[in-house]
Amino acid sequence: MTRTEIIQHLIDIRGYKSYLEIGSFRNENFIKIRIDKKTSVDPDPDAYANYQMTSDQYFAENKDKFDIYFIDGLHQHDQVWRDIRNSLEHLNNDGIIVLHDCLPKNERMQIEDFKSHQHEEWTGDVWKAYYKAYSELQYKVQVVDTDYGCGIIDTKFLYPEGLSWKVHMEDLTYDDFLRLRRDDKFGVISVAEFLERYK
């Protein structure tokens, strides 16, 4: 199941009407999404985004709210965390945020130096921001084990109390990622589990 199929399934099953995509590389995903209102944000002119600016600039200038967000912009944990926080502030009730690239296949895929990965598979260290959301947010957070890991923050499901531990993203290492996955402390679900939960 691809990220596009994950997003479209959530839109269809929830009856969502509005969608915002952060990072619309060549419109490959954006153009396939079927929804009443959709908007894209990317500073790269070759991305063909509706708003040619950074996500930080967009959120500073625009106050529109959306039902579902897809975060696939700058793959660095601090930026992804800002995108998560900003999206939560501009999310409609019972909305969902989807994060791409939460499950790197190896250590090289998640290092921050983008220049060395221009012709390779590269997830960056999005996983650190995902894990911070998984650990700290009071919503249901999980990652579907497909298409480099599609994280889901579902605000329809609210825990009675917010989770209490704090994650310092800059201190996390790839060994931590491997340990968390091995110990089943990363919220990973299969495609079958995803489809069972969202039907």
Q: What is the pLDDT of residues 38-52, one digit of tens each?
A: 999 999 998 899 999
Can you read off the two tokens belonging to residue 73?
């912009």
pLDDT level of residue 60 (50, 70, 90 thresholds): very high
Task: List the domain range (segments joined by +) for residue 192.
Answer: 3-197
The one-letter amino acid at 33 = I
Q: How many CB atoms lie within 10 A of CB 22?
A: 28
| Cα end-to-end distance, the chain, whole Å | 15
DSSP bridge partners of 66: 91
Which residue do the tokens 């998560």 mark? 84
Give the C-alpha separation, 11 to 18, whole Å: 9
Task: Please state, in angstroms and as integers, the Cα–Cα distance from residue 197 to each residue in 33, 87, 154, following that order.
Answer: 21, 23, 12
Return the structure tokens found at 127: 């996983």
Average pLDDT, the chain: 93
pLDDT (tens digit per residue) in 80-120? 999 999 999 999 999 999 999 999 999 988 987 765 666 67
Q: Given this model, what pLDDT does residue 158 score?
A: 84
- HSE-up (13 A, CA, CB side) for residue 103: 20
User: How many domains does one find in the chain?
Assistant: 1
For residue 136, what is the domain's CATH number?
3.40.50.150
- Model confidence at 190: pLDDT above 90: yes
Determine the average pLDDT of the residues in 148-161.
90
